[in-house]
Amino acid sequence: MFLDTANINDINKYIKTGILKGVTTNPTILLKENINRVQQIENILGTNTDLLFVQLIGATIEELYGDYEKLKNIKGSKKIAYKVPINLIGLEVVNKIKSDNPKTIVLGTAIYSADQGILAALAGCDYVAPYVNRMSNNNINPFEAISKMRSFYEDRELDCKILAASFKNTNQILDALEAGAHTCTIPADLFEQMANKDLALNAIKVFNNDGQKLDELTK
């Protein structure tokens, strides 16, 4: 799984679990930190995360590709993967990035349909990010779309993984994985909700209290 944040404290706290494979960001998430974009990217690269997804910014092919060229010159950029919003312009940008360096990891983002995800994979994306909650809010079945994408990728042996995004509750995460998503990127609050269940926390508290009583018996 990946952590969907640009907050250094959250990254340092949750990366220690060993579960998270990296961090995903976008301009909106980065803006919340109120720090210069490049500086915050460098700050995140300075943590123990293995991979950082950064979304390219621009409305044209030239602007998006220019942003890619700027980011790849950042110190530690070998840990950066590039998120490209998928439309006609985005598909061309993916092709240009892969032509520049086929080993560059590219994620097709802002995916709202199976056909869009299929085009992204055919263009060369290593990952696609369907927006689960946003799709649901627009009367689009995200789980059906994920299932169709997964079947298409496997039938044609495409090396593209579904990294589901945009969640409002943990049930959406589980449903996305069950539908065929290879992995997910989730905000810090939902990651904590997945791990810290009230029933489990209460049971642990009882066990620890009883453990202390056992220790007292040996004194």
DSSP of 58-96: -SSHHHHHHHHHHHTTSTTGGGEEEEEE-SHHHHHHHHH
3-state secondary structure (DSSP) of residue 126: coil
CA 88 to the chain's CA centroid:
22
CATH label of the domain that carries residue 157:
3.20.20.70
Structural domain range at position 138: 2-217
pLDDT attached to residue 142? 98
Selecting among 83, 98, 103, 197, the annotated active-site residue is: 83
pLDDT, position 219: 64
Q: What pLDDT does 171 receive?
A: 97
Q: Average pLDDT for consecutive 10-residue bins of the chain (219 residues)?
A: 98 96 97 97 96 98 98 92 98 98 97 98 98 98 98 97 98 98 98 90 84 78
Q: What is the pLDDT of residue 204?
A: 84
Q: What is the pLDDT, as a whole number, of residue 55? A: 98
Quick one: pLDDT at residue 32?
97
- Environment class of residue 216 by beta-carbon count within 10 Å: exposed (0-12), middle (13-18) or buried (19+)? exposed
Q: How far apart, in whole angstroms, are the C-alpha atoms of residue 106 and residue 97? A: 8
What is the structure's pLDDT at 216? 81
For 11-157, strand residue ranges (E) read 22-24, 52-55, 80-85, 106-111, 127-130
Catalytic residue status for 83: yes
Number of structural domains (the chain) is 1
Place of tokens 């998503």: 181
- What single letter denotes the amino acid at residue 101? N
